[in-house]
Amino acid sequence: MLLSMVIFSSLFEQFYTPPSESKMIESRLDSKDSNVSNALQNLDSNQTPTHHPIEENSPTAQDSNIESNSPTTQMPTHHPIDETSPAHHPINDSAGEILNSVSFLAVILLIFAILEFVLSFRLPTLKPIQKITFDRQKYLKLQLLKENLKLIKSRKMIFLPVIFVAIFWSISQLLVDIFPVYVKHTLGILDTRFVNIALGCTGLGVICGSIIAGRYSKNYIETGLIPLGACFMFFSLLFITSFESLFMLSTLFFLFGLGGGFYIVPLNALMQFYSNDKDLGKILAGNNFIQNIGMLLSLIVASICALWLHEVEWLFYLVIFLGFIAMIYMLKLMPFSLVRFLVSLAILQRYRLIVEGFNNIPQKKCGVLLLGNHISFIDWAIVQMALPKKVYFVMERSIYSRWYIRVFLDFFGVIPVSNIASKGAIEQIQKRLNDGEMVCLFPEGVISRHGHLNEFKSGFEKIAMGVDKDKAVILPFYICGMWGSVFSRSNEQFRERKRSFTKRSVSIAFGEPLDIHTQKDKLKAKVFEMSFKAWEHQCQNSPTLAGGFIESCKRGGGDIAIVDTQSGSMSYRRLLTLCIMLSQDMKEMSFKPLPPKKDFCSLPNDCVGIFLPSSTASVICNIATTMAGKIMVNLNFTAGVKAVRAAIDSVNISHIYTSRKFLEKMKDRGLEFDFGDAVIHYMEDIVADIKKAKFAFLANLVFMSVMPTWLLKLLFAKDSNIDSVCAILFSSGSEGNPKGVMLTNLNIMSNIAQIADVIHARNDDCILASLPPFHAFGLTVTTLMPLIENMTMIAHADPTDAVGIAKAIALNKVTIMCATSTLLGIYTRNNKLDKVMFDSLRLTVAGAEKLKAEVREAYTMKFNKPIYEGYGATETTPVASVNLPDEFDAINWEIHRASKVGTVGMPLPGTAVRIVEPDSMETLPTGEQGLILIGGHQIMRGYLNDMERTNEVIVELEGIRWYKSGDKGFLDSDGFLHITDRYSRFVKIGGEMVGLSSLEDEIAKVLKLQEINTDSKICAVGLEDSKKGEKIVLLIESKDGKHEEIIEAVKSSNIIPLKKPSSYFVVESIPVLGSGKIDLKNAKTLAETMDRS
């Protein structure tokens, strides 16, 4: 289209001549014709012409010089007309020469036409739904055209875009027609390259504007660009006649084209958006007709003006007037869209917005009540930026009443509410919803102070009562990425850690519309599930474990990364150097051939075995393994010799890293491990080799210090991607054989980010790393998280060493300790420990097993510190939910609850928990017990070489991968998760289901009530019974000789007879795992042996 305009303009330029120049040329032609006539008469009469002296300044001399083209003649009054003068073209150039000058353009058009013809054959062929015949008579009588135009005119949202797109192309046609003439006759510039460059910048501007418009309209049609583009067009047209330089004119034409791109892309999109599929072809045909008529009229107007107007500038006034009309109308029609876009543009300089679930936004005319989490002061802006329609926000009147922001809030349609007088506001909201408008409120009522969801108030339920069910819906949403920003209410230290010079990614996820009368507990559950979608972008764009470690080490520099209670401290810089050096050695090692890949769960890469407790050596081996692109396998040295050998064989391990000193300690405990044919690498030898190559170490240290982060990642973190498996952990095996759980970079990095967010990681945080790295709790939470999040890690090899743990905490001012209930019980009972030793702790988190009530109470009494219980599994990397400290909002005089005794907390942000009926997978109501499903980006890839078992525990529902935990529990109305039992720990007696875990809890309460203080463990086991199908036996440890008291207390208790054990067995010790959890499999074997005997 633009190329056609250029051809028209070239012809217009050739034939257009201002009237003043036309008269001058005609007088010169009359004089010239008179001289030629006289000369011919003399020739006819055979008379020799008489030569007279001609004065240089006489008119005759001038004419003579014109005809003779004498190069030496001077003409002070008039200049000779050369071939390039304006007067020359209409006189001396033939029509053929004019066409020759633009013939190359015709060739270009022909080439593009042929290209379009060829490409048209690549369009998919669609079969017509119904037979359509072409009516020639209707076509010739223009009836088809009238129908198309009538269709366009009948719909305002189609008619207006069509008219204003036609105005743009009409203005463009006028510009292309008149600008070359303006340049030649007003500016006196004859170089055609000047015109071509300036007009070419218009096309470049349209391209750039269209790309930008497409970028900002990625999720929806950005209508704010339309008035902005109209403003660009008008002001660029206004100043075209004010400049003469090529640079300024090219800039103005580029801005005109840029505005045109902003303008026409959303207008064309709106035209198609509001068109029905069956009418779209007719509307496009009518649109093209109107555009071509507009351009034709522009050409006619330009031609008429060329004949009647003496100055070409008048045509520019016409163009400016058309641009002015378009701008004023668009500003009047879309003021909110423009302001919203400009506000979004300002915010997007600092934040990158990602919208998930945009298709869930209702397209039909109905009211939408937007309900979601409230994490920052600019959540309203995030919501409005994500939606194309105007949203009316509900705001606390105390904030609304501030005079300096009230005008701005009124413009955005804010609805003020207060606890005292909210009836009028509720009615206003109900009216908006019944009228099909969008209204947003935050059911929490306040901005979160802990990053979690607060209690949902019931205000929105009152609003919904006055709204017709068929006229409005609830649209749940979740905002991710604002926690830790300057607009959030997180603590200052956490905000400081989150501060960055790069753009912050902010995600908002919209769920499927809900019934307008949805209750708050169901709504909160849906908002939790939306957090999974909102976290998706952040998790998918996380660096790999190796890349994240390099970034952390470059940030940390010379700061202390690890303090090992055995070997001392090490900085991030030295740690990175050692890890990279060891990873290079690993890359040169030979590995056994990988077994053939059968399915998704086959072994994907070479594995490196690590047989070490929590220590600096363990960290170096684990990180070096992942930097080498291998899979780290931390072997469970508490599982027994056979289990370790089975794990080595199952993952095809060729190399194992361990320590002679550690193996000697294991030997002292009676454990001698068989590593098969795997090559053993002793850390003592590796340290000795590094000491010998001191110069190489120092050179590498300097290299790591000066090289930029991106280059180090390119060199040493390129052998894996976010979805590749980086670790294989073997599950506890408390209920059967250990399973190889494959964890990806995505699993680990997602869980680290989630945990760091909820614990409000600080710069001065130190985390105790005593849990063994073969356990998911020890690997992810206490080993990798502090390294990635720049939290000092205090490593202690033996978690059962109470005094050593206390020293590590006191000497290093540890702020976060993670442990199991068993370990916390050990610390509580040790008389050498005092509360002042744990004074620096701000968080004590219990996990991996159920926290016993007596341990919680005793620990709190002794150390004056609460225990926050968490929940998860190896399959969830491991954390799924956790209790957190409550926060107090003094301004609103409200406590933000993040913990509840007897629960395992709320799901982590980005994690969804659903309670379902085990067989049908149907979601159960709030408070009803069922199978716990856990969904999140931390859900494992699968079980190694066991696709069948993987499919048994992983199910995909509504686009989320859920892990069937095997635990029975329920969610309360506040979103806290309660664990009641394991489905595998139920026995069926006389047709009734009895939970063994709940029985153990009842026995513990009986012992407490009767003041029987004992350190002995108890374990209820279900065995087969010939009469009732199954029976319960109770295993009791005989550590302190109180087993008889325990048996008598249980027998005489008020526990219902169905639940009471039928047998009691006293044992020296109940089997436990390395994590401290009871080994249920071996406990059952022990009970069966004693029952038979």
Whether 295 and 430 share a structural domain: no
The answer to whether residue 164 sits within a structural domain is yes
Question: Which percentage of the chain shows pLDDT scores above 90?
Answer: 31
Query: Does pLDDT of 656 surpass 90?
Result: yes
The answer to whether residue 938 sits within a structural domain is no
Return the H-helix or E-strand segment holding 992: strand 992-995
The answer to whether residue 948 sits within a structural domain is no
Q: Quick one: which of 532, 374, 370 has its CA closest to 453?
A: 374
Residue 1055, CA atoms < 13 Å, CB-side half-sphere: 26
**Given phi > 0 = left and psi -120 to 50 = alpha, else beta, which region is 959?**
left
pLDDT band of 86, cuts 50, 70, 90 = very low
Query: Does pLDDT of 645 surpass 60?
Result: yes
pLDDT band of 737, cuts 50, 70, 90 = low
Query: Does pLDDT of 983 surpass 60?
Result: yes
Cβ neighbors of 147 (< 8 A, separation 6 or more) are 282
Q: Quick one: which of 579, 578, 561 has its CA closest to 570?
A: 561
DSSP structure class, residue 243: -
Q: What pLDDT score was predicted for residue 168?
A: 86
DSSP per residue over 884-924, as a string? ---EEETTTTEEE----TTS--EEPTTEEEEEE-TTT-PBP
Whether 534 and 602 share a structural domain: no
Instruction: From 506, 523, 540, give the residue that closes a domain.
Output: 540
The answer to whether residue 702 sits within a structural domain is yes
Is pTM, for the whole model, over 0.85?
A: no
CATH code: domain of residue 591: 3.40.50.12780
- 619 exposed, middle or buried (CB, 10 Å; 0-12, 13-18, 19+)? buried
Reported as a single tens digit per residue, the pLDDT across 749-779 is 999 999 998 998 888 899 999 999 998 999 9
Reported as a single tens digit per residue, the pLDDT across 226-285 is 899 999 989 988 888 788 788 888 888 899 999 988 988 888 888 888 777 777 777 788
**Mean of pLDDT over the chain:** 82
Which region among 103-107, 510-514, 942-946 has the lowest average model confidence (pLDDT)? Answer: 103-107
Query: Does pLDDT of 60 surpass 70?
Result: no
Whether 781 and 878 share a structural domain: yes
Q: What pLDDT score was predicted for residue 82?
A: 41
Torsion of CA 234, 237, 238, 242, to 10 degrees: 160
Place of tokens 């908006």: 432
368 DSSP β-pair partners: 438, 473
By DSSP bridging, strand 504-510 and strand 472-480 are antiparallel
Reported as a single tens digit per residue, the pLDDT across 473-493 is 999 999 998 888 888 888 888
Whether 774 and 689 share a structural domain: yes
Q: What pLDDT score was predicted for residue 789?
A: 92
Which region among 68-82, 397-411, 699-713 has the lowest average model confidence (pLDDT)? Answer: 68-82
What is the amino acid identity at position 1046? I
Reported as a single tens digit per residue, the pLDDT across 537-548 is 888 888 999 999
Whether 79 and 174 share a structural domain: no
Q: What pLDDT score was predicted for residue 309?
A: 60
Length of the chain: 1093
Which two structure tokens, joined as six digits, stand for 301? 């107007």
- Between 404 and 341, name the one with better pLDDT: 341
Query: Does pLDDT of 375 surpass 80?
Result: yes
Residue 899, CA atoms < 13 Å, CB-side half-sphere: 17
**Given phi > 0 = left and psi -120 to 50 = alpha, else beta, which region is 607?**
beta
SS3 content of the chain, % helix, strand, coil (to 5): 50, 15, 35
Q: What pLDDT score was predicted for residue 538?
A: 85
Whether 871 and 1004 share a structural domain: no
DSSP per residue over 940-976, as a string? -SEETT-HHHHHHHEEEETTEEEEEEEEEEEE-TTS-
pLDDT band of 996, cuts 50, 70, 90 = confident
Whether 58 and 149 share a structural domain: no
Q: What pLDDT score was predicted for residue 133?
A: 65
Whether 298 and 367 share a structural domain: no
Question: Which percentage of the chain shows pLDDT scores above 70?
Answer: 85
Whether 188 and 329 share a structural domain: yes
The answer to whether residue 936 sits within a structural domain is no
Instruction: From 540, 557, 589, give the residue that closes a domain.
Output: 540
Instruction: From 844, 865, 899, give the residue that closes a domain.
Output: 899
Query: Does pLDDT of 598 surpass 80?
Result: no
- Between 95 and 729, name the one with better pLDDT: 729
| Mean of pLDDT values over 331-340 | 81
| Mean of pLDDT values over 781-804 | 94
Which two structure tokens, joined as six digits, stand for 2? 């633009």
Q: What pLDDT score was predicted for residue 691?
A: 86
Q: Quick one: which of 479, 387, 470 has its CA closest to 433?
A: 470
How large is the angle between the packed helices 335-347 and 225-238, nearest 10 degrees?
90
Whether 852 and 994 share a structural domain: no
Q: What pLDDT score was predicted for residue 680?
A: 94
What is the amino acid identity at position 874? T
How large is the angle between the packed helices 2-15 and 156-185, nearest 10 degrees?
40
What is the amino acid identity at position 1010? Q
Reported as a single tens digit per residue, the pLDDT across 853-871 is 889 999 999 999 999 999 9
Q: What pLDDT score was predicted for residue 101?
A: 62
Cβ neighbors of 458 (< 8 A, separation 6 or more) are 520
The answer to whether residue 111 sits within a structural domain is no
Reported as a single tens digit per residue, the pLDDT across 660-709 is 999 999 888 888 888 988 999 999 999 999 888 888 899 989 988 899 99
Q: What pLDDT score was predicted for residue 400?
A: 66
Q: What pLDDT score was predicted for residue 52?
A: 40
Query: Does pLDDT of 32 surpass 60?
Result: no
Residue numbers of the domain that contains 72: 2-101
Q: How many CB atoms lie within 10 A of CB 343?
A: 17
What is the C-alpha to C-alpha distance for residues 625 and 631, in angstroms, rounded to an integer? 6
In Å, the largest CA–CA distance within the chain is: 158
Reported as a single tens digit per residue, the pLDDT across 178-234 is 777 777 777 777 766 777 788 888 889 999 999 998 888 876 788 888 899 999 989
Whether 800 and 660 share a structural domain: yes
| Mean of pLDDT values over 931-946 | 92
CATH code: domain of residue 1046: 3.30.300.30
Q: How many CB atoms lie within 10 A of CB 962?
A: 23
Whether 528 and 633 share a structural domain: no
The answer to whether residue 905 sits within a structural domain is no
The answer to whether residue 1077 sits within a structural domain is yes
By DSSP bridging, strand 1018-1025 and strand 977-982 are unpaired
Structurally, the chain folds into a number of domains equal to: 5
pLDDT band of 630, cuts 50, 70, 90 = very high
Place of tokens 């300790």: 817
